[in-house]
């Protein structure tokens, strides 16, 4: 089976890997960036694995693994006026933003910090370690995914 690998960022104060473990699955609402949207709408497939990354955290890094359980569909929070992610350009008839559903796979035994990712020579070129990398949904090479998972399950 061919499976793709991704990294998704979430601020743990807002939604952490523990929340995902508790909920079992969640919908990944609130992405308002076209590149990230395109990944979720067009490229992420059921069964793909996702590194669950804690951003704006102390420390930041990968906290666990999730799995795509529902492929891209319109982010309904975008046309909800009361929602913090409301965007008047998006309507039910013409959705602008998309999301996927993410299921819980596992929480790492050992948190893999950004620092660790940056200094590991086997992880050279990982997008999240690059300066100014703000993309909240990004592709990860299989080999890199495996290295990070191995670090997390030590």
User: Residues in the site for DNA, rule: CB under 7 A?
Assistant: 9, 11, 32-35, 55-57, 60, 89, 114-115, 128, 131-136
Quick one: 115 or 143, whose CB is closer to DNA?
A: 115
Least CB distance from residue 119 to DNA, whole Å? 11
**Complex with DNA: residue 65 or 117, whichever CB lies closer:** 117
Region of 117 on the Ramachandran plot (φ > 0 left; ψ -120 to 50 alpha; else beta): alpha
Output the smallest distance, CB 136 to DNA, in A. Answer: 4
Cα–Cα distances in angstroms (integers) from residue 69 to residues 19, 24, 38, in the given order: 17, 11, 17
- Smallest distance, Å, CB 33 to DNA? 5
Q: Which residue, 21 or 55, has its beta carbon nearer to DNA?
A: 55
Closest CA relative to residue 32, chosen from 112, 88, 109: 88
Range 115-127 burial, b when 16+ CB lie within 10 A, else e: ebbeebeebeebe
Q: How far is the CB of 55 from DNA (least distance, A)?
A: 4
């Amino acid at each position: 089976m061919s499976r793709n690998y991704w990294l998704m960022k979430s601020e743990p104060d807002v939604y952490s890997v523990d929340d995902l473990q508790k909920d079992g699955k969640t919908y990944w609402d609130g992405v308002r960036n076209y590149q990230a949207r395109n990944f979720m709408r067009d490229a992420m497939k059921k069964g793909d694995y996702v590194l669950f990354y804690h951003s704006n955290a102390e420390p930041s890094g990968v906290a666990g693994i999730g799995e795509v359980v529902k492929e891209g569909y319109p982010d309904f929070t975008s046309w909800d006026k009361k929602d913090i992610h409301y965007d008047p350009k998006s309507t039910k008839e013409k959705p602008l933003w998309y999301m996927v559903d993410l299921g819980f796979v596992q929480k790492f035994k050992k948190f893999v910090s950004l620092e660790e990712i940056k200094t590991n020579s086997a992880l050279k070129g990982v997008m999240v370690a690059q300066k100014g990398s703000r993309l909240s949904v990004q592709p990860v090479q299989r080999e890199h995914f495996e290295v990070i998972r191995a670090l997390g399950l030590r």
